[in-house]
Amino acid sequence: MNVPTATVSRLIVYLRVLDSLASAGKSRTSSEYLGNEAQVSPFQVRKDLAYFGRFGTRGIGYDVAELGQRIRTILGLGRSWNTCIVGLGRLGQALVDYPGFGPQKEFHLVALFDTDSAKIGKCFGGLAVRHNWELPQAVAELNIQLGMIAVPASSAQEVATALVQAGIRGILNFAPAVIEVPLHVFVEKTDVSAALERLTFYLSAAQADRRPAP
């Protein structure tokens, strides 16, 4: 199915809104409400959902619990995904404590890897750090499907290649580097530095707009 990346991103936002409504005890919602919360039009909400079938009832709207469950299924959140982290520096150690990890949650952190001999064998979050060369064996034994890269930019491609060769098809890259992977492998990039630099651009541009003309 050829679904735009922007649509997938909006589905995640819709799910957050639906979870909030469910927590507030709300049972029904509308494309207008979802659109307002996601900052898109009601038409865009309906178009996004239409990629995956028919949802809701005209004049009545959507059942919050039902729509939330269907979006979870669409996003692949109806199962547990075994996950590993490669790189146990400050960022990697912080990721270990991510509250979304857990045996009863969608993302189950099952292995940690590093090449620093001072970290091998140390425990973080109840998991002992393994050496990177153990990746193939661990991926096979623990059925790891997702890998998170938290290493310096200079090591990112090497780690990505090792993950792919071990059988990982989903990678979340925190390293400030572009990595190359085969077409059957999916990569999501999270670059904090780039996000901060975009913010400074917008702030600088806004300040420039307020300067008096020469």
Strand runs (DSSP E) across the chain, as ranges?
A: 28-29, 62-63, 81-86, 107-114, 123-124, 127-131, 146-149, 170-173, 186-189
Helices (H) and strands (E) in the chain, counts: 8, 9
Choose the CATH number for 81-194 among 3.40.50.720, 1.10.3720.10, 2.40.50.140, 3.10.50.30. 3.40.50.720
pLDDT tens for residues 51-109? 999 998 888 899 999 999 999 999 988 788 999 999 999 999 999 998 888 777 789 99
pTM for the predicted model, two decimal places: 0.81
Domain boundaries, the chain: 5-74, 81-194
CATH top class, domain 5-74: mainly alpha
